Amino acid sequence: MAKTNPGRFFEDYRLGEVIRHAVPRTVSGGERALYHALYPARHALHSSDVFARDCGLAAAPLDDWAAFHVVFGKSVPDVSLNAVANLGYAEGRWLKPVWPGDTLRSESEVIGLKQNSNGKTGVVYVRTRGLNQDGDVVMEFCRWVMVRKRDVDAPAPDAVVPDLAPVIPAEDLAIPGGLDFTGYDFTLSGEPHRWADYHVGEVIDHVDGVTVEEAEHMLATRLWQNTAKVHFDATNRADGRRLIYGGHVISMARALSFNGLANAQMVVGLNGGAHANPCFAGATIRAWSEVLGKAETAAPGVGAIRLRLVATSDGSVGRRRGEDGKYLPGVLLDLDYWALMPL
Amino acid sequence: MAKTNPGRFFEDYRLGEVIRHAVPRTVSGGERALYHALYPARHALHSSDVFARDCGLAAAPLDDWAAFHVVFGKSVPDVSLNAVANLGYAEGRWLKPVWPGDTLRSESEVIGLKQNSNGKTGVVYVRTRGLNQDGDVVMEFCRWVMVRKRDVDAPAPDAVVPDLAPVIPAEDLAIPGGLDFTGYDFTLSGEPHRWADYHVGEVIDHVDGVTVEEAEHMLATRLWQNTAKVHFDATNRADGRRLIYGGHVISMARALSFNGLANAQMVVGLNGGAHANPCFAGATIRAWSEVLGKAETAAPGVGAIRLRLVATSDGSVGRRRGEDGKYLPGVLLDLDYWALMPL
Amino acid sequence: MAKTNPGRFFEDYRLGEVIRHAVPRTVSGGERALYHALYPARHALHSSDVFARDCGLAAAPLDDWAAFHVVFGKSVPDVSLNAVANLGYAEGRWLKPVWPGDTLRSESEVIGLKQNSNGKTGVVYVRTRGLNQDGDVVMEFCRWVMVRKRDVDAPAPDAVVPDLAPVIPAEDLAIPGGLDFTGYDFTLSGEPHRWADYHVGEVIDHVDGVTVEEAEHMLATRLWQNTAKVHFDATNRADGRRLIYGGHVISMARALSFNGLANAQMVVGLNGGAHANPCFAGATIRAWSEVLGKAETAAPGVGAIRLRLVATSDGSVGRRRGEDGKYLPGVLLDLDYWALMPL
């Protein structure tokens, strides 16, 4: 038993250390096909090599969230195996497209540590980077998790809380090399709405819903080699339910957002996010978005749009928090991200 | 909410207009592998590159019904989002094989319009074409659907009902370039029965059954980017059931028909078809076939066979309609198609 | 009905005959992606082309058990369609890696026949070989199954029971050409434990569990084109349950064994195995291993380790049989295999 991975506890992290995560992964058209089977993903740039080439790319890249899940999944055994809660995300940027044939690995730098006042847990802040076979960083994001201590008597480290940007400035977003939306085909993309048609404060109900099944979220979560047992083992919780990986809800909501945001083609920035309530099989996931900001970019015909993406289990639209400031029980996800859209 | 797609209503269609459907799709070995995971598909020509090459093709093409589903799925948002019923198919032809790496898009021409006497709905006839990245038509088919009117007071168009062939003449079937069954390996294909061994009127019980699950039909239907919400959203119907995409039943029945029709290798014509009764998860799908016709072709060693393929939920064989002429409740599908078989 | 395959009965087998199995299959990155979605597979050599190249291979091969399932699946219609029980395995060897793009077919030689004393059934012993498009044998294994007689009055054949090795000698294991573990990266592989760290008799609890779903085991079993109806048809058994393909349990247990055996990279020998109890959806599969032996190999940095892999439905560890010598009811699988590991 000594050979199995017990995961790290709070006192096992050192500020500034870089943890190289295991199990590199080569992706192919197989991952792309599975992504389309698991989520109602229809953004044309990720669906069609021809459409992607007409936008200046070499081919259709792997869905941006699929890249995130692969990078994230590798960090789970080292970062969140003993996590009590996934507290937040910040400063997430997609820096290079991931192509079929690429091999991804990931690593995390410990950028903050703060023991909780109860002495039993602490918050670990990491910046996780995904690298391809050339060593290029394809994406990075910060997240912070609450982790149990192995020994409550272990001394608390000096508290360091990183200063994370609440929103990534538009000028810091990485636009994929060659991206050009000046010849964009709005018929093939599925909707006529361009960047200029969206205004800050606008709320979009994405209408469609998907009732989720155990087999589906487990297929997805395994595909990303995320091993957290709470997603797979029905005997793990007292209530016999398997907790759905939060990333499954992200991808489902993002795919549903096609209906109203078909031209928000590429996700390039993750400003923040919260898994507001747990999701279980049988829930019907719906989504709505709010336009939080807009910015121009240096790429031809390409605008950036900042969106709030909210996934719900109750079909509500526009409301996130109750009068007490807490998330309403029907809210599953509250995500703040940047996407690229034709002007 | 104004940005989401409400779908077209009956009065939105114009005779002769061509609707270019959105979201082109590049297929790969991933779609092929998923097709084999979703259906018990075993026809050797679609399973093995080597077998396909020995039959004169460049490689194993994507399953013919997978190509149909991709082309069909793209038409759903424009043709059947507000459909009350999918009434029929005719004049379906597979014109070119679809290879891994191909990018498909589709378009539909409105070839008929007829308002129903109740004034609330009308029948829309379309000819849908699937095109590859070179602009070649890889398949086409007609279908007609009953669509709601948005405004019951909208004027009725002049009624035009297209004259569709009840059966595609064998000489109009497209045989894939190079196809040659003179060196066909009946051991590797799985059965010794050749074209000459089948006689018109013969009924074949395919014996095997598959009990279908929610996760499976949703994975399949999403894979084809078919967005009709009735397949995914358990809250959409009063009874809380998700209606299984009719094409899932087609592919399941066709795959089951391997047992007795292992050498009916390629589907090249769709003469007609009806989704006789709805299918829900938990049903055990079985299938039987009847030989409706036979014809020679110009390709070496290649015969054409016209088959009725019937899928059932009750295991019945040989009966389709009751004394009242209506489909029996255990019949799910009644399909009339042409396949190619070694002489 | 005469055209469907009734399967072979005991009296249909002749000692020494070689049965060429139908439906060759080309595998691609799609099968690899699906394998990762269906099982929590994380062994780095099968996950990453780069890791595989750093170990001297051309790319990441298809998972060894996926290759087994493809080869095995083809033999089902000819060997086990009328089988009452799958009795055992022996002398299984993986002789060449299977790469994306390879086309596999399989054939079985009848190496033993013995009618049972009840006169109603007999045991058929076969040696099944999987061949690639070049005719190279990529793997082979023996199995023996109890098969019904069609006619209880058919004469019994002379009893021939093959002399099968209880354990494959380490020197008979095939090491993939070029394999070199001298530069092995233990961080990327996920665990620091090398061949020298394991001792005979050591028991490893793999800790994690996966609760299995109907949709998942059917997707997997279809992917390998295994057609045994008991896996798919809920009406086939009186209790309405679908029996899970034993190979699904093998792959699940092997994948779970990553946790503690992350460096047991390649499976090269199958000494024996028993499907101790049937597995049904809803079971939570766990696994433990016992080190049965160790041997050196001629390849640089490569050791062989002989492992017992036990899958359970009750989470028990270390116990397989009761005092009566029979498998305990919570034991699903008892497998004896050789794997390759860095020294």
B24-51, pLDDT tens digit by residue?
A: 999 999 999 999 999 999 999 999 999 9
CATH number (domain holding residue A218)? 3.10.129.10
Nearest to C119 by CA among C79, C71, C152: C152
Q: Does the beta-carbon distance from C44 to A23 stay under 8 Å?
A: yes
Interface of C with A in 71-110 (CB under 8 A): 100
Query: Is there a domain that residue A5 lies in?
Result: no
SS3 for B246?
helix
Nearest to A226 by CA among A33, A27, A21, A20: A21
The number of folded domains in chain C is: 1
* Residue C229 structure tokens: 């109806």
Q: Does A211 touch chain C if contact means CB atoms closer than 8 Å?
A: no
Nearest to A220 by CA among A107, A65, A342: A65
Residue C28 near residue B30 (C-beta atoms within 8 A): yes
Amino acid at C47: S
* pLDDT for the residue numbered C7: 85
Distance from C-alpha of B114 to C-alpha of B122, rounded to nearest angstrom: 5
* pLDDT for the residue numbered A255: 98
Instruction: Measure Cα distances from C311 to A179, B219, C40, C94, C274 in Å.
Output: 50, 29, 14, 22, 11
| Average pLDDT for runs of 10 along chain B of length 343 | 83 97 97 98 98 98 98 95 89 98 98 96 97 98 96 95 98 98 98 97 96 98 93 93 96 98 98 97 98 98 98 97 97 98 98
Sequence-separated (6 or more) residues with CB below 8 Å from residue C47:
A23, A24, A25, A26, A225, C36, C41, C60
Query: Is there a domain that residue A2 lies in?
Result: no
Q: Does A183 touch chain B if contact means CB atoms closer than 8 Å?
A: no
Q: Does the beta-carbon distance from B30 to C30 stay under 8 Å?
A: yes
Q: Does A313 touch chain B if contact means CB atoms closer than 8 Å?
A: no
Instruction: Measure Cα distances from C260 to A1, B214, C81, C140 in Å.
Output: 8, 35, 37, 28
Instruction: Sort residue C257 into left (φ over 0), alpha (ψ -120 to 50) or beta.
Output: alpha
From chain A, pick out residues whose CB is under 8 angstroms from the CB of B4: 204-207, 259-260
Q: Which residues pair with residue A111 across a beta bridge? A: none
Q: Does the beta-carbon distance from A189 to B242 stay under 8 Å?
A: no
* Residue C162 structure tokens: 């093959």
* Cα-only R_g, chain A: 20
* Residue B305 structure tokens: 């066979």
The DSSP H or E segment spanning A11 is: none
Interface of B with C in 221-250 (CB under 8 A): none
Q: Does C1 touch chain B if contact means CB atoms closer than 8 Å?
A: yes
SS3 for C189?
helix
Amino acid at B195: W
Interface of B with C in 109-148 (CB under 8 A): none
The DSSP H or E segment spanning C217 is: helix C214-223
Residue A252: closest CA among chain B residues belongs to which residue? B222
Query: Is there a domain that residue A337 lies in?
Result: yes
- DSSP sequence for B81-110: TTEEEEEEEEEEEE-S---TT-EEEEEEEE
- DSSP sequence for A180-212: --TT--HHHHS----GGG--TT-EEE----EE-
- Residue B241 phi/psi, 5-degree rounding, is -105, 145
Distance from C-alpha of A204 to C-alpha of A341, rounded to nearest angstrom: 16
Residue C234 near residue C240 (C-beta atoms within 8 A): yes
* Residue A317 structure tokens: 């639209």
| Mean per-residue pLDDT of chain C | 96
Counting as low any pLDDT under 70, the low residues of chain C are: 1
Residue A194: closest CA among chain B residues belongs to which residue? B3
Distance from C-alpha of B9 to C-alpha of B6, rounded to nearest angstrom: 9
Query: Is there a domain that residue C17 lies in?
Result: yes
Q: Does the beta-carbon distance from B34 to A32 stay under 8 Å?
A: no
Sequence-separated (6 or more) residues with CB below 8 Å from residue C238:
none
Q: Does the beta-carbon distance from C211 to A23 stay under 8 Å?
A: no
* Residue B56 structure tokens: 């004169």
Nearest to C93 by CA among C142, C144, C155, C35: C142
Nearest to A322 by CA among A330, A314, A334, A310: A330
Q: Up-side HSE of residue B192: CA atoms within 13 Å toward CB?
A: 2
Q: Does A328 touch chain C if contact means CB atoms closer than 8 Å?
A: no
Q: Please tell me the distance in Å from B323's CA to the nearest CA on chain C.
A: 25
Residue B342 near residue B183 (C-beta atoms within 8 A): no
Residue C103: closest CA among chain B residues belongs to which residue? B48
Residue C21: closest CA among chain B residues belongs to which residue? B188
Tell me which residue range forms the domain holding B154. 10-342
Query: Which of C38, C210, C252 to mutate against chain A (most A CBs within 10 Å)?
Result: C210
From chain B, pick out residues whose CB is under 8 angstroms from the CB of A58: none
Q: Check pLDDT > 60 for residue A1.
A: no
DSSP-derived secondary structure letter, A172: G
Q: Does the beta-carbon distance from B3 to A49 stay under 8 Å?
A: no
Residue A4: closest CA among chain C residues belongs to which residue? C260
Q: Does the beta-carbon distance from B26 to A36 stay under 8 Å?
A: no
Distance from C-alpha of B67 to C-alpha of A166, rounded to nearest angstrom: 46
Q: Does the beta-carbon distance from C188 to A133 stay under 8 Å?
A: no
Distance from C-alpha of C87 to C-alpha of C250, rounded to nearest angstrom: 15
- Is C101 buried (19+), middle (13-18) or exposed (0-12) by CB count in 10 A? middle
Residue A214: closest CA among chain B residues belongs to which residue? B215
- Residue B77 phi/psi, 5-degree rounding, is -60, -25
Distance from C-alpha of A1 to C-alpha of A12, rounded to nearest angstrom: 20
- Output A58-61 pairs: Cβ under 8 A, ≥24 positions apart: A58/A99, A58/A178, A59/A99, A59/A100, A60/A32, A60/B26, A61/A97, A61/A98, A61/A99, A61/A176
Distance from C-alpha of B70 to C-alpha of B130, rounded to nearest angstrom: 8
Nearest to C70 by CA among C125, C118, C24: C24
Q: Does A196 touch chain B if contact means CB atoms closer than 8 Å?
A: no
Q: Which residues pair with residue C128 across a beta bridge? A: C108, C141
Residue B27: closest CA among chain C residues belongs to which residue? C30
* Residue A35 structure tokens: 């992504």
DSSP-derived secondary structure letter, C277: S
Distance from C-alpha of A94 to C-alpha of A138, rounded to nearest angstrom: 6
Nearest to C248 by CA among C268, C206, C278: C278
Q: Does B54 touch chain C if contact means CB atoms closer than 8 Å?
A: no
**A209: nearest CB among B219, B222, B233:** B233
Residue B260 near residue B190 (C-beta atoms within 8 A): no
Q: Which residues pair with residue C227 across a beta bridge? A: none
- Is B298 buried (19+), middle (13-18) or exposed (0-12) by CB count in 10 A? exposed
* Cα-only R_g, chain B: 20
Q: Does the beta-carbon distance from A50 to B20 stay under 8 Å?
A: no
Q: Does the beta-carbon distance from B191 to C3 stay under 8 Å?
A: yes
| Bridge-based pairing state of the strands B25-26 and A83-94 | unpaired
From chain B, pick out residues whose CB is under 8 angstroms from the CB of C100: 29
Residue C341 near residue C179 (C-beta atoms within 8 A): no
Nearest to A215 by CA among B224, B213, C33: B213
pLDDT tens-place string over residues A186-209: 999 999 999 999 999 999 999 999
Q: Please tell me the distance in Å from A80's CA to the nearest CA on chain C.
A: 15
From chain C, pick out residues whose CB is under 8 angstroms from the CB of A25: 36, 47-48
Q: Does the beta-carbon distance from C47 to A33 stay under 8 Å?
A: no
Q: Does the beta-carbon distance from C48 to A28 stay under 8 Å?
A: no
Distance from C-alpha of C60 to C-alpha of C126, rounded to nearest angstrom: 30
Amino acid at A261: L
Nearest to A71 by CA among A9, A142, A7: A142
From chain B, pick out residues whose CB is under 8 angstroms from the CB of A30: 28-30, 33
Percent of chain A with pLDDT over 70: 100
Sequence-separated (6 or more) residues with CB below 8 Å from residue B175:
B268, B297, B298, B299, B302, B340
Query: Which of B3, B105, B231, B245 to mutate against chain A (most A CBs within 10 Å)?
Result: B3
**Average pLDDT, stretch A121-146?**
97
Nearest to C208 by CA among A4, A219, A78: A4
Distance from C-alpha of B3 to C-alpha of A260, rounded to nearest angstrom: 5
Q: Does B58 touch chain C if contact means CB atoms closer than 8 Å?
A: no
A-C contacts at Cβ under 8 angstroms: 140
Interface of A with B in 20-39 (CB under 8 A): 28-34, 36-39
Distance from C-alpha of A340 to C-alpha of A175, rounded to nearest angstrom: 8
* pLDDT for the residue numbered B86: 87
* pLDDT for the residue numbered C82: 82
**B216: nearest CB among C29, C100, C218:** C218
**What is the pTM assigned to this prediction?**
0.97
Q: Does the beta-carbon distance from A232 to C40 stay under 8 Å?
A: yes
Chains in contact with B via at least 3 Cβ–Cβ pairs below 8 Å: A, C
Q: Please tell me the distance in Å from A62's CA to the nearest CA on chain C.
A: 13
**A24: nearest CB among C32, C37, C47:** C47
**B3: nearest CB among A49, A204, A215:** A204
Q: Does the beta-carbon distance from B235 to A284 stay under 8 Å?
A: yes
DSSP-derived secondary structure letter, A175: P
**B260: nearest CB among C3, C25, C103:** C3
| Mean per-residue pLDDT of chain A | 96
Q: Does B48 touch chain C if contact means CB atoms closer than 8 Å?
A: yes
* pLDDT for the residue numbered C229: 86
**B50: nearest CB among C28, C103, C215:** C103
**B219: nearest CB among A38, A44, A100:** A38
**A33: nearest CB among B34, B103, B235:** B34
